[in-house]
Amino acid sequence: NSIFKKRILDNNIDTGYADNDSLVDDEVRQQNLAQLQEFEDDLETTTALINEREEAIKKLETDMVTVNEIFREIGSMVHEQGDMIDNIEHNVEVARDRVEDGVVQVQKAAEYQNKISEKGAHILSYHVVFGIILGIIIWLTTRKEKLK
């Protein structure tokens, strides 16, 4: 501040506001000091505004870095989730294929069971008929022996 005051006073002396041999007039000095005070106030205000803007710019820069980090994390998460979705999709396709194979196997088993049931029924009926015939033969032979 004192450097600015000295410059203004030196400038006034050099430009003829004051006589080299005499003191600067009080009125001129007061005007110069008022101008100097106004200049200093303007300088302080401008400096404060510049500092505020600098802080705002630093905050904005920090926020931009934070947003950039968030976007990177989101991108990474989306990539990971994409891999998980691909894996789930693959597992669903494998499960679908296995279910289709299982349905075919169950249908074949049902067909075999029906055939076995039919064969079993035929075999059982053959055994029953054979048993009846055998029973009749045995009954007839024992009856002939009793009759003799």
Rounded to two decimals, the pTM is 0.42
- Give tens-digit pLDDT for 94-144: 999 999 999 999 999 888 888 888 888 888 888 889 899 998 988 888 877
User: pLDDT tens digits for 78-97?
Assistant: 988 988 999 999 999 999 99
What does each C-alpha distance from 114 to 5, 106, 124 come to in angstroms?
A: 116, 12, 15
Residue 17 has pLDDT above 80, yes or no: no
Section 55-77 average pLDDT: 95
